Every structure is written in C-alpha cells, then in structure tokens.
A and B are shown apart, each in its own frame.
Chain A
C-alpha cells in the first residue's frame, strides 16, 4: 500500500468518525434545537476543531513511520486518480446542496427529518468519505 493510499484511507476513517459523532449529536437534538443557529454554529466549530486535530495527529504519526515518502508529491497516476475521485465527490456534494436548497424552498425537512443546514454538512462529509473511498479503491485496482 502506497503512502498516498494510507493517507487517504486515514482521512476517510477520520471523516467517518467525525460524521458519526455529528449525526449522533444532531439526531439527539429536538427539531426546534436543530433550527437554532447558535447551536448549529457551535456544532460546526466543534466539527472543524475535531477534524483538524485528528488529521494533524494521525498524519504526524503516519509521516513518522513513512518518513521517506511523507514529503513526496503525488505522481501523475495518483493525480489522475485524485481527479476522478474528486468528480465523484463533487457529484455527491451537488446532490446534497440541491436537496438542502429544495428543503429550504419548500420549507419542510422532507425526506430527511433534519434541518437543511445539517443536511448540507452531512452531504459535505459524505461526499468526502465517498470520494476518498473511490480514490483508495482506484489506487488499489491499479
């Protein structure tokens, strides 16, 4: 497994943990609390801090064990694969944005019982996870 693969796999795992924690926090809220902007922004700040800290710590550990490859840039094949994965990721994000905008327009939370802001954040995290998984799979396939 190449360093890029390990690194992306780690990012996917961290994003998955962050998404799980976020979903747990949002689903435990009442519908009124979900619409509260101060609670939503507090949750977002927590999400950002949690992600940054976990990424820095895990990347430092990974780089310490793979010092030879840690500072090397992606090669042309890895860049091409990253581009493919990014297009998948952006498609998922687009779906999430359209869904959130639709929920805002019709002023209802159908089909997911969650405020549009949270739907948007979850779509962003999901797009990152799916994009990362596609990249790891393409790197593994060769």
Chain B
C-alpha cells in the first residue's frame, strides 16, 4: 500500500518515553494496537482527535509528531 503524505515520529517518541509499546500507546489513546502500527507505518492518517490524543500522551505539539510532505 502507498505511503501517505503525512509522516510521523511516533516510533522515535515511543522509545524516548521509556520504550513505550504500541499496545500501551493504543490503550492511552483508545484505539487498537493495529491502528497505532498503521499510523506509525504511514499507512493510515488518524483523525484530528486521535492525533491530539497522541500529542497529549507525548506532551508534544502536534507538528512535532506529524509532518506533512508535499
């Protein structure tokens, strides 16, 4: 499947947060582990709500987590 124009640094941030697992992040955000895996691999663009929840978990601004490549 083609990657989306929106990339992210979730994988890096997870490791910087005590090697947080995908399942832990998924539980904190309220989605499945498979959805986190799809977001990380840039195969799925999350809704604004989920994107903000991820930003809250990592205590980072949204643009530090998600980047748009034209």
Contact = CB atoms under 8 A, between A and B. Distances in A.
Among B35, B43, B47, max chain A CB count under 10 A is at B35
The B contact surface, by secondary structure, is: loop
Among A2, A141, A142, max chain B CB count under 10 A is at A142
Given A75-B30, A76-B31, A77-B38, A142 B50 contact: no
B46 A76 contact: yes
Interface of B: 1, 30-35, 37-38, 41, 43-44, 46-47, 50
Nearest to B35: A77
B32 A142 contact: no
Interface residues of A, number: 11
B50 A76 contact: yes
Interface in A1-45: 2-5
Nearest to B27: A68
A115 to B, nearest CB: 42
